[in-house]
Amino acid sequence: MNIATISTTPFTDQKPGTSGLRKAVTVFQKPHYLENFVQSIFDSLEGSQGKTLVLGGDGRYYNRQAIQTILKMAAANGFGRILVGRGGIMSTPAASCVIRKYQAFGGIILSASHNPGGPEGDFGIKYNTSNGGPAPEKVTEAIYACSKEIEQYKILEAEDIDLDKLGEFKLGSMAVEVLDSVQPYTQLMESLFDFDRIQELLTSRQFRMCMDTMHAVTGPYAHSILEHRLGAPAGTVVNGTPLEDFGGGHPDPNLVYAHDLVDILFGEDAPAFGAASDGDGDRNMILGRHFFVTPSDSLAVLTANAHLVPGYSQGLAGVARSMPTSGAVDRVAAQAGIDCYETPTGWKFFGNLLDAGKATLCGEESFGTGSNHVREKDGLWAVLFWLNILAVRGESVEQIVRSHWQTYGRNFYSRHDYEEVDAQKAGELMERLRQMTPEMKGKQLGNYEVDYSDDFSYTDPVDGSVSNKQGIRIVFTDGSRIVFRLSGTGTKGATLRVYLESYEPDASKHDQDTQKALAPLIEIAEQVAQIKDSTGREQPTVIT
């Protein structure tokens, strides 16, 4: 078999964002676009000759074609072995699990996560390092640097591999193993959670749950673990067959896009527990009967109840949350006497803390929760964690969250997204805010006094690397906050995210509607940032 060396010229837009390179499928279909980026990944790596690479994606449109291309490029670039998911499919947490289990050199994950799929949808690609986690900034910068100078890429001239057949194949001199990642992932879950107690819960007549996998990658994992292994009745998992276009839906587990689940959990005769996961299986949304658990509260509740779960009963080394995530978990950590780290948005920033044993649980407001069991956030893991807690405590989701608020106080929290707005105007809005921050201290805004305001900067406590410009914070003297950021995962225009948080210790006020409780802060955000003028929008596109 021949290795072809193909001449190419750089694309200028291959800078990875919050989580890899995400673009419209049509962009990835441009001649050489995918190949340039993959070769840039390979060129940026040192010592990969003869090593093992993990490869899989969320099964969205263009996944299969991309997998075949990457396999042939990996063979031409000297990898020794590739572990690829059956059908080219692996959830993001399962890919992380496989990288770690097989001590692979790294992995390539094909996903645009929660972005819609299909020929008109999005596609994405990211590189994970040998710890199983998303490449840190120094690696993504190196990949980007290579993409700006690339002149050629290498690809093996060979037939496609049959991705649907489990087993071992040869591609040139490289071995390709097609594996079913459901199995190692299930084993890992079994080592963390009390499957017997969860099984008791799921098979009892008093308890019903519904898991919406949104026609995305988690379907097979959820069917296998919840229904086959743990005995939940067939039909517990809905929208469980992965489809290339996610059934035309937007596979983002929030109150807007996971409407099938929301209708069930807020309808008559609702089950006790509901959960949804996203396109690549790393996000989760947790619902009780007629009750929504914010991702920030979910992280706090998991932290406070971790002692009930076998895999975490020895205690937590610490916890970490992204800066815009509410401070609910900080209060649990403070009471437990463990460290709580505040990182920029992006799971990659948790990697060093997990590797160094500084944090055990991590979470983000963007519906992501995870732990040191892998180096990605993990949707189904969060669902099992909740089920384990429910099985032990024998209370409802609502009771557990309300008693949590009674103990720690409630962090009212909401994120307002303005999607697909004019990128230049959004950039100008952020710049205006940036200029204002030095003069904000001491200012009276409505009933709030500004304690401090800055553009969040993070120094990694493990390797000392610094990440600047991670979001504008306006923090008030009572701890309430408004944060402004531009998303790093959108593919059209810009998405402005406004994060709002206010702390309420008084349990008699915990019943308020979130948007009402945050109304004064919403008004201040508009006053300070002139959002309506800048975005041309009267309302946010999505409120979570």
CA dist 349 and 347 (Å) reads: 5
Q: For ligand G16, which residue of 14, 19, 39, 91 counts as binding (CB under 6 A)?
A: 19
Q: How far is the CB of 320 from ligand G16 (least distance, A)?
A: 11
Binds ligand G16 (CB under 6 A): choice among 330, 364, 378, 501: 364
Minimum CB separation of residue 182 from ligand G16 in Å reads 20
Among 282, 297, 378, 460, binds ligand G16 (CB under 6 A): 282
By beta-carbon proximity to ligand G16, the closer residue of 305 and 369 is 369
Task: State the minimum distance, in angstroms, from the CB of residue 282 to ligand G16.
Answer: 5
Closest C-alpha to 181, from 60, 54, 276, 66? 54
Number of residues that bind ligand G16 (CB under 6 A): 16
Residues in region 122-161 near ligand G16 by CB under 6 A? none
Cα–Cα distances (Å) from 501 to 65, 199, 222, 293, 539, in that order, read 44, 37, 33, 15, 18
Beta carbon nearer to ligand G16, 18 or 140:
18
Phi first, then psi: give them for residue 133, nearest 5 degrees.
-105, 165
Task: Please report how close the Cβ of residue 495 comes to ligand G16 at its closest, in angstroms.
Answer: 7
Is 113 one of the catalytic residues? yes
**Sole window of 184-192, 208-216, 363-371, 388-396 interacting with ligand G16 (rule: CB under 6 A):** 363-371
- CB 270 within 8 Å of CB 296: no
Which one of 185-193, 308-316, 329-337, 345-353 is the stretch in contact with ligand G16 (CB under 6 A)? Answer: 345-353
Q: Which of 77, 96, 113, 372 binds ligand G16 (CB under 6 A)?
A: 113
- Backbone φ and ψ for 92, nearest 5 degrees, come out as -60, -45
Judged by CB, which is closer to ligand G16: 488, or 520? 488
| Rounded Cα gap, residues 302 and 307, in angstroms | 9
**Of 85, 87, 327, 346, which lies in the binding site for ligand G16, with binding defined by CB under 6 A?**
346
Q: Binding residue for ligand G16 (CB under 6 A) from 81, 114, 404, 481?
A: 114
Give the closest residue to 45 by CA, choosing from 73, 22, 64, 9: 73
Under rule CB under 6 A, residue 411 binds ligand G16: no
Alpha helices in 150-249 (DSSP H): 182-192, 195-202, 218-222
Residue 162 phi/psi, 5-degree rounding, is: -80, 105
Separation of alpha carbons 299 and 368, rounded Å: 9
366 binds ligand G16 (CB under 6 A): yes
Q: Which residue out of 48, 91, 113, 296 is catalytically annotated?
A: 113
Length of the chain: 544
User: In the bound complex, what is the minimum distance in angstroms from residue 151's beta carbon to ligand G16?
Assistant: 31
Write the CB contacts of 314 (distance below 8 Å, at least 6 apart in sequence). Answer: none
Tell which one of 40, 63, 489, 534 touches ligand G16 (CB under 6 A).
Answer: 489
Give the span between the Cα atoms of 353 and 322, in whole angstroms.
12
470 lies in the binding site for ligand G16 (CB under 6 A): no
Using the contact rule CB under 6 A, the part of the chain among 165-173, 396-404, 482-490, 514-522 near ligand G16 is 482-490
Cβ atoms of residues 375 and 131 within 8 Å: yes
Report helix, strand or coil for 293. strand
Binders of ligand G16 among 65-104, rule CB under 6 A?
A: none
d(CA 114, CA 408): 32
Q: Give residue for tokens 């893991």.
A: 381
**Residue 334: count of CB within 10 angstroms of its CB:** 13
Sole binder of ligand G16 in the list 56, 106, 242, 368 (CB under 6 A): 368
Residue 345 sits in the site that holds ligand G16 (CB under 6 A): yes
Minimum distance, C-beta of residue 252 to ligand G16, in the bound complex (Å) = 9
Structure-token match 């390092």, residue found: 129
Q: Which phi-psi region, left, alpha or beta, contains residue 342 (left: φ > 0; alpha: ψ -120 to 50)?
A: beta
User: Would you count residue 18 as binding ligand G16 (CB under 6 A)?
Assistant: yes
In sequence order, what are the residues at sequence separation of 6 or more whose Cβ sits closer than 8 angstroms to the Cβ of residue 330?
A: 321, 340
User: Closest separation between CB of residue 110 and ligand G16, Å?
Assistant: 12
Contacts with ligand G16, residue ranges (CB under 6 A): 18-19, 113-114, 282-283, 345-347, 364, 366, 368, 487-489, 497
What residues are labeled active site?
113
